[in-house]
Chains A and B, each alone.
Chain A
Amino acid sequence: MFTQLLELATAPHGVDRFLELVRPTWAADDTRARVVAATRETPDVVTLTLRPGRGWARGRAGQHVRLGVEIDGRRHTRCFSLASSEHRTDGLVEVTVKANPDGIVSRHLVATAAPGLVVALGAPEGDFTLPATRPDRLVLVSGGSGITPVMALLRTLVDEGHDRPITFLHYARTPADVIYADELAALGRTHPQLDVHVVTTRGAGTGALTGRFCAAHLEAVVPDLGGAEAYACGPVGLVDAALAHWEQAGAIDRLHVERYSLVAAPSDGAGERASGEGSTGARTHFAGSDVTVTSVGTTLLEQAEAAGLTPAFGCRVGICRTCTRTKVSGRVRDVRSGTVSGSGEEPIQLCVSAPCHDVVVDL
């Protein structure tokens, strides 16, 4: 009753639009978080300790969240894995962000994040999580900033006093690039059941193993995979190699993977084709209807209609925005101006957007 009256009193904008003026993290529907600490782990990695506002439900270790950051007046949303233990008692959560050379958001956060920054914080999602009955044998493999969700698993198990064997194989370019290096070393010393191997992929390395993840590495540290529950997260190469190895070992159903490239910031750089020309032969995927078409150089609205879909539209020339939809990924070209969009998630007008290469649209 009270809630309904409050909604009526603040209609049509809602309570949050007033609360946020007093304190941004008080919003009731739109969860936000305030950065309470920003720790530079390595030259290109920052760990943000966040205090979520009211209404945010703590997820499970291994899950990721959508983080909305305002840069030059524009809100960019990207997914980041939570790194903190699900048993943390001070109500804070951590995310660790590595600057992707082409990533707008990750570079911005690494360069500027400081206590006091307010970010939008989505609900935790993902199934890179531990089973309720903790496994007797665990193998964790991570590469680069892919350590983040794996660290959440490890910290959670440590907090639970988990006393069964865990083997952790982590890859980084050089010793200076190892995120959480001190904490890993300390955990390894104080927890005899925890076997930590940090491998560097460039230069000679310090440990017994060098180079990228391969079957030999795994056999050296885990002679018998049978029965072990395994978690792998990192660059595409690492995840694919892990999948291949577990497949061969006949233990694929015990391997959980988190594809780092889907979790981390999508590339916004110039590496991809961004010539401004509409392309033919690219594939357009309408995710909501699960329809994929091959582009013939027309606008997305025309492609959708040709595929038998019936998106809402009005003027068909870019004025009225009736046909605005969310583009999930890929670049599109504005057929009026030739301007090429970013490759991340953003609203686009179907009637004046033609794909530059493969795109996914929520339609």
Chain B
Amino acid sequence: MRLQRGLEVSGRVLLMAGILPPAWLGGVAALSLAKILDNMEIGHNVMHGQYDWMQDPALDSATFEWDTACPADQWRHSHNYVHHTFTNVLGQDRDVGYGLLRMTDEQRWHPRDLGNPVYALALAALFQWGVALHDVELDRVVAGTKTPAEAREKVEGVWRKARTQVLKDYALYPALAGPAAPVVLSGNLTANLVRNLWTFAVIFCGHFPDGVETFTPEEAEGEGRGGWYRRQLLGSANFRGGPLLHLLTGNLSHQIEHHMFPDLPAHRYAEIAEQVRAVCAEHGLPYNTGTFPGQLGTVARRIASLALPGREDEPVASRLGQLVGRLNPLGR
């Protein structure tokens, strides 16, 4: 917490002196890290109630607000309830493609899916806005299963929150810098972009690398408690890394443990990972993990191959997928 606030303050201060290139770079780095820590390790985990036991009003899951365009109350609905309850159930878990991408061959192909990789890049760059509009569920309004009035209420909530964020990053701080306003503006834009790309990458690596399963509503219907745990396991994937990587991902590098025990303080997932693994081995269940670039590569391949009709394992799709995988600098 102290580190995040410190980075934010130093990032803002450095950007004020951002006319000098090293200060600009340092400022962007510090502010990006501050936003990443705020969103991932602090915001996401606090809002899961992982720190409610402390009874500290500043870390209360019900009232916490974070440094991103998405209002915390809408996030608690779309993420804590929808995503964590209906994890990877098609048509119910809206994190599968964010209502925009085709993420599995069980979703029927549509000509608009040709743009899948382009949409993914756009979503990654603007991820905070994707998340902000997530709970509005525009696609459901278009389909007529959600009334415009309900959506309007959500949009107004997003507007109130996002207005503050935009004013802060793109008006107030640049204005404080006086003549250096463009430097600060570009720095803040870059920091938001870095945070967007990073959170997108981490989150998509949690549910869409190779081997992660999706489920139909029929499969999840009446699954019971054991079935729920099984679905969380099969629908999530981890990646390995050092303590710094775990911290910067908000410990979502332990996505499997997170989905099984979402209210356990995240920095302790590593401690239970061995036990989870052992249980998986005992029951012959897969425990999906890999390197971060490796997992990201398979996600990129999946997004690319699903732009075309047909199944993921058909030759044409996988050839194109491998090509995209190679072109991706993070891919394997």
B56 touches A347 (CB 8 A): no
Provide the residues of chain B in CB contact with A73, threshold 8 Å: 54
User: Is A134 positioned at the interface, with any CB of B under 8 Å from its CB?
Assistant: no
Alpha-carbon distance between A74 and B54 when the two chains are bound, in angstroms = 4
Question: Given A8, A12, A13, which contacts B167 in the complex, CB threshold below 8 Å?
Answer: A8
User: Is B105 positioned at the interface, with any CB of A under 8 Å from its CB?
Assistant: no
Q: Given that A17-B5, A314-B77, A347-B62 are known contacts, is A320 also in contact with B52, CB under 8 Å in the complex? A: no
Provide the residues of chain A in CB contact with B56, threshold 8 Å: 70, 75
A324 touches B172 (CB 8 A): no
A18 touches B5 (CB 8 A): yes
A319 touches B84 (CB 8 A): yes
- What count of chain A residues pass the 8 Å CB interface test? 28
User: Is B61 positioned at the interface, with any CB of A under 8 Å from its CB?
Assistant: yes
A74 touches B263 (CB 8 A): no
User: Is A315 positioned at the interface, with any CB of B under 8 Å from its CB?
Assistant: yes
A320 touches B2 (CB 8 A): no
User: Is B80 positioned at the interface, with any CB of A under 8 Å from its CB?
Assistant: yes
Give the Cβ gap from B172 to chain A, nearest Cβ, in Å.
5
Per-residue A-contact encoding for B67-78, CB less than 8 Å = 1, 0 else: 100001000110
Provide the residues of chain A in CB contact with B55, threshold 8 Å: 68, 74-77, 346-347
B173 touches A11 (CB 8 A): no
Name the residue of chain A whose CB is nearest to the CB of B1.
A17
A324 touches B49 (CB 8 A): yes
Question: Given B9, B48, B76, B168, which contacts A8 in the complex, CB threshold below 8 Å?
Answer: B168
Question: Given A13, A68, A319, A324, which contacts B62 in the complex, CB threshold below 8 Å?
Answer: A324
User: Is A321 positioned at the interface, with any CB of B under 8 Å from its CB?
Assistant: yes
A13 touches B65 (CB 8 A): yes
Alpha-carbon distance between A76 and B53 when the two chains are bound, in angstroms = 10
A319 touches B80 (CB 8 A): yes
A9 touches B168 (CB 8 A): yes
User: Is A5 positioned at the interface, with any CB of B under 8 Å from its CB?
Assistant: yes
Alpha-carbon distance between A191 and B167 when the two chains are bound, in angstroms = 64
B172 touches A321 (CB 8 A): no
Give the Cβ gap from A168 to chain B, nearest Cβ, in Å.
38
Give the Cβ gap from A105 to chain B, nearest Cβ, in Å.
12
Q: Which of A158-217 contact B (CB under 8 A)?
A: none
Name the residue of chain A whose CB is nearest to the CB of B171.
A8
Give the Cβ gap from B31 to chain A, nearest Cβ, in Å.
13
Q: Which of B215-229 contact A (CB under 8 A)?
A: 228
Give the Cβ gap from A118 to chain B, nearest Cβ, in Å.
13
Provide the residues of chain B in CB contact with A18, threshold 8 Å: 5, 9
Alpha-carbon distance between A8 and B52 when the two chains are bound, in angstroms = 26
Q: Given that A8-B164, A9-B173, A12-B164 are known contacts, is A321 also in contact with B76, CB under 8 Å in the complex? A: yes
Provide the residues of chain A in CB contact with B57, threshold 8 Å: 30
Per-residue A-contact encoding for B17-57, CB less than 8 Å = 1, 0 else: 00000000000000000000000000000001100111111
B61 touches A321 (CB 8 A): yes
Alpha-carbon distance between A117 and B153 when the two chains are bound, in angstroms = 45
Name the residue of chain A whose CB is nearest to the CB of B50.
A321
Provide the residues of chain B in CB contact with A329, threshold 8 Å: none
Provide the residues of chain A in CB contact with B52, threshold 8 Å: 321, 324, 347
Per-residue A-contact encoding for B104-137, CB less than 8 Å = 1, 0 else: 0000000000000000000000000000000000
Q: Which of A35-82 contact B (CB under 8 A)?
A: 68, 70, 73-77
Name the residue of chain B whose CB is nearest to the CB of A324.
B62
User: Is A280 positioned at the interface, with any CB of B under 8 Å from its CB?
Assistant: no
Name the residue of chain B whose CB is nearest to the CB of A313.
B81
Name the residue of chain B whose CB is nearest to the CB of A27.
B58
A9 touches B172 (CB 8 A): yes
Alpha-carbon distance between A320 and B49 when the two chains are bound, in angstroms = 8
B85 touches A315 (CB 8 A): yes
User: Is A21 positioned at the interface, with any CB of B under 8 Å from its CB?
Assistant: yes
B54 touches A21 (CB 8 A): no
Alpha-carbon distance between A317 and B9 when the two chains are bound, in angstroms = 40
User: Is B182 positioned at the interface, with any CB of A under 8 Å from its CB?
Assistant: no
User: Is A322 positioned at the interface, with any CB of B under 8 Å from its CB?
Assistant: yes
Q: Given that A21-B2, A74-B54, A314-B85 are known contacts, is A321 also in contact with B9, CB under 8 Å in the complex? A: no
User: Which one of A11, A17, A68, A319 has the greatest number of beta carbons of chain B within 10 Å?
Assistant: A319
Per-residue B-contact encoding for A322-353, CB less than 8 Å = 1, 0 else: 10100000000000000000000011000000
Name the residue of chain B whose CB is nearest to the CB of A5.
B172
Provide the residues of chain B in CB contact with A317, threshold 8 Å: 85, 228
B80 touches A322 (CB 8 A): yes
B5 touches A21 (CB 8 A): yes
Q: Which of B164-193 contact A (CB under 8 A)?
A: 164-165, 167-168, 172-173
Alpha-carbon distance between A75 and B167 when the two chains are bound, in angstroms = 34
A319 touches B262 (CB 8 A): yes
Q: Given that A8-B164, A8-B167, A324-B49 are known contacts, is A17 also in contact with B58, CB under 8 Å in the complex? A: yes
User: Is B66 positioned at the interface, with any CB of A under 8 Å from its CB?
Assistant: yes
Per-residue B-contact encoding for A1-23, CB less than 8 Å = 1, 0 else: 00001001101110011100100
Q: Given that A18-B9, A30-B57 are known contacts, is A322 also in contact with B81, CB under 8 Å in the complex? A: yes
User: Is B60 positioned at the interface, with any CB of A under 8 Å from its CB?
Assistant: yes
A320 touches B84 (CB 8 A): yes
Give the Cβ gap from B138 to chain A, nearest Cβ, in Å.
22
Give the Cβ gap from A236 to chain B, nearest Cβ, in Å.
27
Give 8 pairs: A residue, B residue, CB < 8 Å, sorted on A.
A9-B173, A11-B164, A13-B58, A13-B65, A21-B2, A30-B58, A320-B76, A321-B263
